[in-house]
Amino acid sequence: MALMMKRSAVAARPAVSRKAVVTCVARQSWLPGSEIPKHLDSPAALAMAGNFGFDPLGLGKDPESLRWYQQAELVHARTAMTAVAGIIIPGLLTKAGALNVPEWYDAGKVAIESSFAPFGALFAVQLFLTGFVETKRWQDFKKPGSQAEKGSFLGFETAFAGTGDNGYPGGIFDPMGLSKDASKLADWKLKEIKNGRLAMVAFLGFAAQKFATGKGPIDNLAAHLADPWHVNYATNGQSIPFL
C-alpha cells in the first residue's frame, strides 16, 4: 500500500520542462529592418570590416569582385582621409593667420607654377613610384603574403611583411603597433573604414561647396556661422536653383 502511494505521488509530480535559452545578437544593418543580401552574409563577407549589408546594385555577388571592391574602398577611404585633413588643417591655419596657402582647388596650380622642377618631370616620378607601389599591392591582392617572401621586395621583405591580412600592411606602416593586438585590430579596422567613408562624403561636400560658392570649407563655415539664416545651402543660388 505504501509503495502504491509512493508511486502515485511520483506520477502526480508535474513534469519538469527544460528550455534552452539562446541569446542572439542582432546584426547591424545599414537600414534597420532591411534584408541582408546573401552574398554579404557569408563567412568571408562577415569578416570584412564595415559590412552592414549595403550593396543595392549587387556588385559584390562574385566573391573575387567583393574582395576587390573591399580593397578599392579601403584605398579610397585612406586617400580621402588624407585629402580632407590636407584641406581642413591648412584652411584653419590660414584663417588663423599662421599660414598663407591657397585653397585646395588652387593648390595644384600654384605648386606647378612655383615648383623647382618641371611638371612633366614630377609627373613622371610620381607615375613611376605610384606604379611600383600599386603593382606590389596588386600582387599581394592576387596572392596574399607573397610580398613577404624572400626576394620579392628588394631585400626589405621583413620590414614590409605586415600583418598578413591583405590591405593592412602593418610593419613600418604601423609605427604605434596597433595591429599587434589581434583582439583590438578588428575594432581599429571598423573605426578606420567608418572614418574613411565619412571622409569620402566630406570631400564630395567640399567639391559641391566649391561649385556652389567658389570658396573652401573653412570660409563657408565661417560665413554660415556669422549669418546662419541667410548663408546656407538654400541661399547659395546653386543648391536650390528655383529659390
CB environment 76-112: b (16+ within 10 A), e (fewer): ebbebbebbeebbebbeebeeeeeeeebbeeeeeeee
Please tell me whether 224 is known to bind a ligand: yes
**Nearest Cα to 105, choosing from 24, 234, 212?**
212
DSSP conformation letters of 169-186: --GGG-TT-GGG-HHHHH
Name the grid cell of 137. Answer: 599591392
CB 158 within 8 A of CB 172: no
**Nearest Cα to 72, choosing from 129, 134, 123?**
134
Please tell me whether 191 is known to bind a ligand: yes
Please tell me whether 195 is known to bind a ligand: yes
Please tell me whether 35 is known to bind a ligand: no
Please tell me whether 28 is known to bind a ligand: no
Please tell me whether 209 is known to bind a ligand: yes
Please tell me whether 73 is known to bind a ligand: yes
Residues making up the binding site for chlorophyll b: 78
Q: Which residues are annotated as a binding site for chlorophyll a?
A: 73, 76, 191-192, 195, 197, 209, 224
- Residues making up the binding site: 73, 76, 78, 191-192, 195, 197, 209, 224
